[in-house]
Amino acid sequence: MADPFYRALCSIYPKERVFWKEAEVLPYESDGLTAFRAKPKGIVLPLSADEVVKTVSLCSAEDVPFLARGSGTSLSGGAVPVEGGLVIAMNRLDRILEYVPDERRMVVEPGVINAKISTHCEADGLYYAPDPSSGPVCTVGGNVAFNSGGAHCLKYGMTSNHVLGLKIVLPTGEIQELGGSSLEHCGPDLTGMFVGSEGLFGIALEITVRLLPKPESFFTVIAAYSSLAEAGHAVSLLVASGLLPGAVEIMDALTMEAAHAAVGAEYPEGAAAVLIVELEGLSEEVEAEKPLLLSLLAQSGSFDIRPAKNAEERMTIWKGRKSAFSAAGRLSPDFIVQDGVVPRSRLGEALEEITAISERHGIRVANVFHAGDGNLHPLILYDGRVEGSYEKAEQCAAEILRLCIALGGSITGEHGVGLEKLSYLSEMYGPEDTQFMHRLRDAVDPKRLSNRGKMLASSEAPALMTPGLHPLEKEGIIFRN
């Protein structure tokens, strides 16, 4: 092949780990948000950190933009390549490099699957707390890029709260080590700056995570409500009481319908919404908190309160909740998974308005979210085969995000800005804030090669992402009708 960049890559990799043909790069054109697609120049499959460093150095020398990609489960377009750029597929960097159970830490490569960490240390009574719904397939490197959370982030925090240190390669090819092997560090929190940067600061080569002792006891309850707003107000009541459950989740009737069809999960008949609350910790602690939880749920107006009778029922409850995104495919051929945050004190108000937005647009919205920290995940259902339906769904999504901003919340809780939410960044932050973000990014990546066009693109996307009108099409990003 005559392409000099291809020949340079083949000096780093054997040809069977360099994908260049159209059919070979096609699977990498989009991530979990399939509305965005772009064709990369090529794909490489490194087997070592050294190969990643050499690849980044080559991209820097040749001014080729690059994207480090794990399982591609991003729901914001954050793992969509730039047209003509290189995808560095990190899936084969999946080794556990060090495990020190006495110090409750593990060093992993970025391609390690999230759930594999807990499986590896289970025999020692330890686990890894961040538990996104895609945990069985998503990679730790992707979790670091987007600061993933999960159902139990209310009590235990996000990925940033569980990453102790990082070995990274900067977009210039330089290797840096951030943080260390303990929670205590001197100086600025560079590890915290890197986590959640959506790949703009380079690629993680090694990730040191902290592990927690597995909870001794669980108490999981489903509480049914006559309206979605009532369930939202119940969350405010729980949090105001001082109770700190391991998880507080909400599912509405549409989501329950899908989860029941997908995995057979059972829910109270006639419920417009259910609250899933889980206490966890020492047995004495959980036993002491049970009466308070049940009393609060009764006060909140729940008409049916069902504690899980055993571990099997508990697992069925969580299986239904974690299957919600994939199960939504039973409700609609297409849907947008939105991700915004509102203050918990205004959760009921937000849910009432989302219902009104859904009715105004004539679009069904299935609601499932991490209620404990106000992280909304409305699923906006549409049929892409119907002309104009995608644009209508995006208008609905835009109103929901602007609602989050108006209520004092955020445009993202854990899915990131990616491509989807570029236009809302300036609505959430002032000019000085965004200018500082650009200066910081340019100090680390002056050529803007690492995951170019995401989070802090030079051109902003309009709220309605219509094919032919989106300014990011100039950067090689295309859209599906």
Q: How many other C-beta atoms are found inside a 10 Å radius of the C-beta of residue 221?
A: 22
Residues 241 and 204 grouped into a single domain: no
Report helix, strand or coil for 21.
coil
Q: Is residue 370 part of a domain?
A: no
How much is the pLDDT for 239?
87
| Nearest-angstrom CA–CA distance, 371 and 359 | 22
- Which domain covers residue 320, as residue numbers? 217-327
Looking at residue 27, what DSSP letter applies? G
How much is the pLDDT for 2?
66
Residues 171 and 105 grouped into a single domain: yes
Strands, E assignment, 101-145: 105-108, 126-127
Residues 113 and 194 grouped into a single domain: yes
Residues 189 and 263 grouped into a single domain: no
Q: Which DSSP string corresponds to 337-378?
A: E--EE--GGGHHHHHHHHHHHHHHHT--EEEEEEGGGTEE-E
Residues 309 and 226 grouped into a single domain: yes
Q: Is residue 123 part of a domain?
A: yes
Domain boundary among 160, 191, 213: 213
| 375 to 67, 85, 150, 347: CA distances (angstroms) | 27, 33, 10, 9
Distance in Å from the first CA to the final CA of the chain: 34
| 192 to 188, 246, 301, 451: CA distances (angstroms) | 9, 23, 40, 19
User: How many distinct structural domains can be found in the chain?
Assistant: 2
Residues 250 and 198 grouped into a single domain: no
Q: Is residue 285 part of a domain?
A: yes
Residues 312 and 261 grouped into a single domain: yes
Q: Is residue 183 part of a domain?
A: yes
| Residue-level pLDDT, tens digit, the chain, 481 residues | 568 999 999 999 999 999 999 999 999 999 988 888 999 999 999 999 999 999 999 999 999 999 999 999 999 999 999 889 999 999 999 999 999 999 999 999 999 999 999 999 999 999 999 999 899 999 999 999 999 998 888 899 999 999 999 999 999 999 999 999 988 878 889 999 999 999 999 999 999 999 999 999 999 999 999 999 999 999 989 989 999 999 999 999 999 999 998 888 889 999 999 999 999 999 999 999 999 999 999 999 999 999 999 999 999 999 999 888 888 888 999 888 899 999 988 988 999 999 999 999 999 999 988 888 899 999 999 998 999 998 999 999 999 999 999 999 999 999 999 999 998 999 999 999 999 999 999 999 999 999 999 998 664 333 333 333 333 343 444 433 3
Say which CATH number the domain at 181 has: 3.30.465.10
Interior/surface letters 205-220, b for 16+ CB within 10 angstroms, e for the rest: bbbbbbbeeebeebbb
Residues 196 and 235 grouped into a single domain: no
Strands, E assignment, 122-216: 126-127, 163-169, 175-179, 203-210, 212-213
Q: Is residue 359 part of a domain?
A: no
Residues 131 and 226 grouped into a single domain: no
Q: Is residue 87 part of a domain?
A: no
Contacts of 22 (CB under 8 A, 6+ apart): 39
| 156 to 133, 212, 371: CA distances (angstroms) | 16, 10, 14
How much is the pLDDT for 250?
94
How much is the pLDDT for 151?
86
How much is the pLDDT for 264?
87
Q: Which DSSP string corresponds to 60-77?
A: HHHT--EEEESS---SSS
The tokens of 91 are what?
């899936």
Q: Is residue 436 part of a domain?
A: no
How much is the pLDDT for 464?
34
Domain boundary among 213, 240, 261: 213
Interior/surface letters 239-277, b for 16+ CB within 10 angstroms, e for the rest: beeeeebbbbbbbbbbbbbbbeebbebebbeebbbbbbb
| Nearest-angstrom CA–CA distance, 294 and 16 | 59
Residue 63, sorted as left (phi over 0), alpha (psi -120 to 50) or beta, turns out to be: left
Domain boundary among 193, 213, 233: 213
How much is the pLDDT for 469?
35
Residues 204 and 267 grouped into a single domain: no
Say which CATH number the domain at 288 has: 3.30.70.2190
Residues 109 and 173 grouped into a single domain: yes
Q: Is residue 428 part of a domain?
A: no
Residues 275 and 185 grouped into a single domain: no
Q: Which DSSP string corresponds to 382-449?
A: E-TTSTTHHHHHHHHHHHHHHHHHHTT-BS-SSS--TTTTGGGHHHHS-HHHHHHHHHHHHHH-TT--
